[in-house]
Structure formats: C-alpha cells, structure tokens
Chains A and B, each alone.
Chain A
Amino acid sequence: MSLVNVLSARKTYPLGDTWIEALRGVDLTIAEGEFVAVWGPSGSGKSTLCHLIGVIDQPTAGRVEFDGVDVLSLSDDARSDLRNRKIGFVFQNFNLVPVLSALENVQLPLQMLGVTDSGSRKLALEMLEKVGLADHASHWPKKLSGGQRQRVAIARALINRPVVIVADEPTANLDSENAQRIIDLMRSLNREFRTSFVFSTHDERLLASVDRKVHLQDGLITEDVRVTPA
C-alpha cells in the first residue's frame, strides 16, 4: 500500500531576478515498510524532496498525497497533527532540544499529543532501550556524542510509531563508522516496526542495505531501483 505519493512535484526558489528549480517534476511513491535511500550530488534536490515527503514544505506545482489525501488541502494544524502522528523526522544536525534530557527529547512528540509525563516516560525509556541508550536517559544532549545524539533523535522520531521516518542526511555529521551504525540501526528498526524510512545521502557507501535507491540529479529522478533483499 502506498503511503506517500509525490506527483509531478516541482519546487522553484526565487534567486535574484531568476528562479532556481530545485525539483523539476518528480514522481515518487513510498510504500509501507520500505527502506529508501535518496542519493545524488549536492544541489540535486534531496533535501527539497525530503521536505515534501515530511510535509514541512509544499511543492510549487504538482501534489503530495499522504494516505491518499492531498496535503495542500489540509489546514496548517492538520498538517502539524499529521507530522506528529504519522511522520518522524531525523535531522542532519540532530536538532535535540538542549534544555531537555535525552529522555525528555524522546518524550516530546508524545507530550505534543497530550500524553502525561508518567505515561510518556515509560514509552520513551523503552524506545531509548531500542536505540541502545537506556543508560543515557538523563543525559543532556551536549554530554552525548554525535552518534548518540542521532540515536536519541531516531528514538524521538519513532516514539509516536509513525508510518514513515524522513531523515535528511542523517549521517553527514558523523564519521563513516558511526554513519554505518546509524543506517544499520534505522534498518533494524524498519524491520522491527514496519516503519518506512526515507533517508538522503550523498555517500554511496551507505546504500548497501537499502531496499530501494532513488537517484536525484538536477531536480529529476534519474534512477529508481529496487534491490531484492539480500
């Protein structure tokens, strides 16, 4: 079943007197449980595509459907709720809230849903355990290494059991060893929870374990290959 449908999506940015076409008509369908890598050179439009899939931005032309619903037809609040319940986000710079502990960062999406502190605490601890950081629950983000921060961010993205997690260059700020660990972690969580993952990267070495490789170049998908699981 398809979760996200990107249909003839275009995105243009004004640049001085002209326009930059970040996406020039992209069609992409993400199905349940898929583990997708969007790869391509810098400036090819990976981030822009991730923003559209994550419903934090809208196409200039074309459509993005989530569960068959055109996200443009939704109000801002409805889009916020959609992100909260159905989409998880992992950022290149981890983007943990510095005044919240690792545990509290993971609790955040539940807190937005209105779950009580005691209710969300247990779930968040379980999720931290899944990413191997249960013993770091009370740590402040600044006391954690880059790899640990990104694992907290993944736990945070997963806490509301979204149907898809969007990760824009989740490994760009990590060394290659930690980068591979993050991809492996996402892969195992993808298998465990059946959550779809879409991550972008310009590092081809990280594509080994993916189901599907979407290659972007100059705002167009030049290649979309499914890899039969090894």
Chain B
Amino acid sequence: MNWFVFAARNLLRNRRRSAVTILAAAFGFAAVNVFGGFTAYMFDNLRDGFIYAGGNGHLQVYRTGYKENATTDPGGYLVPGDVYDRLTHLPEKDDRILLVAGTMELTGQLDAGDRANIFVAKAFQPSHRDVFFKESKTLGRGASFLDTGDSLSDENPNEIGIAHGVERILGLGLESDVALMARTVDGQINVVDAVVRNTFASPSSELDEKLIVLPLKLAQDLVQTEGVGRIAILLKHRHDLPAVEQALREFLEAEGGGYEVKRWDEESELYQLTKKMFNMIFGIVFFILIVIVSMSVMNTMAMAIIERTTEIGTLRALGLRRAGVIQLFAMEGTLIGIGGAMAGLLLSVIVWATIKVQAPMWTPPTIGRKVPLEIQLVPEYLLMTSVFLIVLTLAAAILPARKASSQGIVEALGHV
C-alpha cells in the first residue's frame, strides 16, 4: 500500500459522490474540447475558404492606396505589367511559392442588347483558379461555385460567368452574347464582347444582381492595361509564410517600393471577426468549466474532510505532518482530475466519432454550400485541458485540505 492507493480507496468510500465529481469534470473537459475542436475546424474552413475558394492566396500584393482608390481611380493603382510579369516568374526561383496569380476588380456596365445593368467583376486567369481549387484541402478537390455551364478557360478569353441575379434581371442564359463597358486606365470608355459560359450562386445576396467573373485577359483588354489589381501568392506550405513574406517585401522594395504585402489573416476580416468571437465564446466555456469543476471538487473535498475529521486527527496523532494531510487530499483531487480527464477524453472521442460517422451537413457562411460538419480532436487542446484540469482539481483539493490540516488534533479527534 502506498499513499496513492490510500487516496484511491478514499475516493471509493463515497463512490457516487466521486463519480458525480469525475463526471462533472469529464463533461467540462469534453465541452471545452468539442467546442475547441469545432472552433479549430471552423478556423481551418475560414482560412482555406479565404485562401483557396476565395482565390486570395496566402499573401496578397497590391499597390499602396489600391484598396482605398480602387473604385474611383482603378487605373491609377495597378501593379504595372512588367512588375507582375517578374513576379509570375518567382515560383521558378523560389520553390516555396506555388503560384502567383494576378487579379483585377472592376466595375462597369453589362449590356445585354435590350437591357443593361452595372456589373462588379472579379477577373482572374482561369487556369490559376483551377490550381486554387485543386490545392484546397478542406473543401474537396475541384470544388467550385459553378452551378451550370463550363468553367472558364485560358483558351477562350471572351467567355464570362454571371451570378444568378444577373442572369435573372438581364434575361440572360448560357451562350448569351453580352457587351462589357468600362473606363480604361486613360479614362476612355471601352467595350468588349463576351459570351456567357456559366452561371453561379453569388456568395452574397447584395452582389447577386451585379457579380460577374471574367478572365484576367478580357479585363485587361477592357481597361487597356497589362497591369493587375491584386496579386494572390499561393504557397506550398503555410509555415513558409513569414519567410516568403519577407522575401516578397525585399523583392518589391527592389522594384521601387510602394507596395503592400499582406498575409491572408490580415486581409480576411471575416476570419478575424469570427476568430475573435469564437475565442470569446471559448473563453466563456472555459470559464464555466473552471467554475463548475473547481466548485464541485472543492465541495466534494470539503465534505470528505468533514466526514474524515476524526481520521485526520488520528493520522496527525500517529505523526503525519500537516503537509502529509494536504498531500493526501491533493492526491485525491489529482485522481479526480486524472479520472475526469480520462473520462472527458473518452467522451470527446465519442462525440468526435459520432459526428464523423453521422457527418451532418451544414452551410458555413464562407462557402455558401453544404459541407459535412466536422470537429477536430486537437492534441494540444486535449493535452492542455488535461493538465489544466489536473492542476485545477489539485488546487481545489488543497484549499480545504489546508484548513483541515491546521485544525487542532484534539478537536479533530473529538469530532463526531
């Protein structure tokens, strides 16, 4: 027999009470980890949604002032064609970079013969978009927003995609001929012809009646430039981000400066806000865990201590030091913590496995279509919660045990 066996047997004295306490700890543990696991999954989805599905890449490069002036003076803040050209050759020299994809945002008027409406367009090189989708891990390979029709291709630069709202209000369909009208970088009005190749669901209802996508080449023809608006840089591995960011800054400095290099997390407002919100909720869940577990353990320990007052007196009379009494109850608290962490781990795995098997479908706000819900089992979270839970139960046991250890031996012995 050693002190741990003694402590364990003491917990078995009141099995029901110990079990309830351990269960409370286990539920708290599971709540934190299931919620944390869902949060981790959410963050991954938001991140990949932004980087891959949104075609934004890990890093974005644009001219200083582009964001602020893109609507009023789109031509004035483009990355010049020659700089873009040199950037596109970076992946050949730097194998951390997978793709350098120029994009352009522009507005103008979409003419469908008898009807017309303003458009908001996103332009990109179609083959680039394929790379983004192919690389996406969380969204499944080849996923795209296409609802009907074929994807755009580099070979047919006059083909465009339109949102359902545009299709509806302009009475368009696949293969419809349209004309795009916009101001060139010199301020002239220019028109190009295009054919509707596909239609898609707009990620936001506000843009539904205006949003179109077109090949970068067509957009450049329309506004008469070789330049691009924003450049998305896609990396092979996320962990290279800081190094590549630095390298890019140096590269652009050598190009004369005046550029912004932004990481995906700086650019994604949705990610930032969601992360803030979820971190807050996570903090609240965690706080509730702390309160419930510590109160429940303290209560259990306080009751055990009252019930065992005479025994504490006996042990002290036999020569156990005050610290020995505290240690004994600390061990009992620790065992509750270990039990709670193990039961909580089991509970978390059960919830995780159930969700994995059932795979309930849901629509994340960023993707705009149904995907199977997942939660992740994050080893760091599991480890941290385990350690935290054990420390917490230990502390919650020590508090009442300290009091018990310092009471008079004679009084304790006389306790009934």
A residues engaging B (CB < 8 A)? 51, 54, 56-57, 76-77, 80-85, 87, 89, 91, 93, 95, 97-100, 104, 107-109, 111-112, 117, 156, 160
Contacts and interface: CB of A to CB of B under 8 A. Distances in A.
Contacts of B324: 80, 112
A95 B320 contact: no
Given A76-B322, A80-B319, 10 more contacts: A51-B410, A77-B321, A77-B323, A80-B320, A83-B319, A84-B320, A89-B318, A91-B317, A117-B1, A117-B2
Contacts of A85: 319
A97 B13 CA distance: 12
Contacts of B10: 99
A21 to B, nearest CB: 16
Given A100-B6, A111-B3, A56 B318 contact: no
What is the predominant secondary structure among interface residues of chain A facing chain B? Answer: helix
A54 B410 CA distance: 11
Contacts of B314: 89, 91, 95, 97
Nearest to A96: B314
B310 interface: yes
B76 interface: no
A92 B13 CA distance: 24
A57 B410 contact: yes
Interface of B: 1-3, 6, 9-10, 12-13, 310-311, 314-324, 408-410, 413
27 contacts: A51-B410, A54-B317, A56-B316, A56-B317, A56-B413, A57-B409, A77-B322, A80-B316, A80-B319, A83-B317, A83-B318, A83-B319, A85-B319, A89-B314, A89-B318, A91-B314, A91-B317, A91-B413, A95-B314, A97-B315, A99-B9, A99-B13, A104-B1, A108-B318, A111-B1, A112-B318, A156-B318
Contacts of A80: 316, 319-322, 324
A155 to B, nearest CB: 12
Given A91-B413, A117-B1, A84 B319 contact: yes
A112 B6 contact: no
B317 A111 contact: no
Contacts of B408: 57
Nearest to A153: B314
Contacts of A104: 1
Contact of B311 (A56, A57, A95): A95
A99 B10 CA distance: 7
A80 B12 CA distance: 28
A69 B310 CA distance: 28
A94 to B, nearest CB: 10
Contacts of A160: 319
Contacts of A84: 318-320
Nearest to B10: A99
A117 B13 CA distance: 22
Contacts of B316: 56, 80
Contacts of B13: 98-99
Given A51-B410, A56-B317, A97 B322 contact: no
Nearest to B7: A99
Contact of A111 (B2, B409, B413): B2
A76 B320 CA distance: 10
- A-B CB proximity, top 8 nearest: A84-B319, A99-B9, A56-B409, A83-B319, A95-B314, A80-B321, A104-B1, A89-B317
A93 B323 CA distance: 25
B317 A99 contact: no
Contacts of B317: 54, 56, 83, 89, 91
A198 to B, nearest CB: 14
A19 to B, nearest CB: 17
B82 to A, nearest CB: 80
A112 B410 contact: no
Q: Which of B3, B311, B413 has the most CB of A within 10 A?
A: B413
A81 B319 contact: yes
A89 B1 CA distance: 21
Contacts of A111: 1-3
Q: Which of B2, B319, B322, B410 has the most CB of A within 10 A?
A: B319
Nearest to B13: A99
Contacts of B6: 99-100
B320 A112 contact: yes
A109 B413 contact: no
A97 B243 CA distance: 64
A88 to B, nearest CB: 8
Contacts of B12: 99
A142 B322 CA distance: 27
A82 B3 CA distance: 21
Contacts of B9: 99-100
B319 A109 contact: yes
A82 B320 CA distance: 10
A81 B321 contact: yes
Nearest to A113: B319
A56 to B, nearest CB: 4
A172 to B, nearest CB: 14
Contact of B1 (A82, A93, A100, A109): A100
